[in-house]
Structure 1
Amino acid sequence: MSVTAGVRVRVPAKVNVQLAVGAARPDGFHDLANVFLAVGLYDEITVTPADELRITCTGPDAAQVPLDHTNLAARAALALAERHGIDPRVHIHIAKDIPVAGGMAGGSADGAGALLACDTLWSLGSSRDELLAICAELGSDVPFSLIGGAALGTGRGEQLTPLEVGGSFHWVFAVADGGLSTPTVFREFDRRTEGTPVPAPSADPALLDALRTGDATALAGALSNDLQPAALTLRPSLADTLTAGTTAGALASLVSGSGPTTAFLTKDPDAAEEVAQALLTSGTCRTTRVATSPARGATVVG
Structure 2
Amino acid sequence: MSVTVRVPAKVNVQLAVGAARPDGFHDLANVFLAVGLYDEVTVTPADELRITCEGPDADQVPLDRTNLAARAAIALAGRRGIEPNVHIHIAKDIPVAGGMAGGSADGAGALLACNTLWNAGASRVELLSICAELGSDVPFSLVGGAALGIGRGEQLTALETGGTFHWVFAMAERGLSTPAVFREFDRLAEGREIPEPVASADLLEALAKGDSDALAAAVSNELQPAALSLFPELADTLEAGRGAGALAALVSGSGPTTAFLARDAESAEKVAAALRASGTCRAVRMAVGPVAGATVV
Q: How many residues align?
A: 297
Supply the AA of the counterpart residue of 1:93: H
Report matched runs for 1:1-302 at 5 Å: 5-301=1-297
Supply the AA of the counterpart residue of 2:233: S
Supply the AA of the counterpart residue of 1:259: G
Fraction of identical pairs, as percent: 77
Equivalent-residue separation in structure 2 for 1:292 and 1:10 (angstroms): 16
> Aligned-pair distance for 1:273?
1.0
CA deviations over 1:241-297 (Å, ceiling 9, x no partner): 000001001001000000000000000011111101100100000000000000100
CA deviations over 1:86-115 (Å, ceiling 9, x no partner): 111100000000000000000000000000
Supply the AA of the counterpart residue of 2:274: A
Equivalent-residue separation in structure 2 for 1:149 and 1:292 (angstroms): 11
Equivalent-residue separation in structure 2 for 1:15 and 1:23 (angstroms): 22
Equivalent-residue separation in structure 2 for 1:57 and 1:143 (angstroms): 22
> Aligned-pair distance for 1:49?
0.3
- TM-score in terms of structure 2 length: 1.00
Unaligned runs of 5+ residues in structure 1 are none
Alpha-carbon RMSD across the aligned residues, in angstroms, is: 0.5
- SS of 1:55's equivalent in the other structure is strand
> Aligned-pair distance for 1:125?
2.0
- SS of 1:109's equivalent in the other structure is helix
- SS of 2:40's equivalent in the other structure is strand
Equivalent-residue separation in structure 2 for 1:177 and 1:78 (angstroms): 33
Unaligned runs of 5+ residues in structure 2 are none
> Aligned-pair distance for 1:124?
1.3
- SS of 2:168's equivalent in the other structure is strand
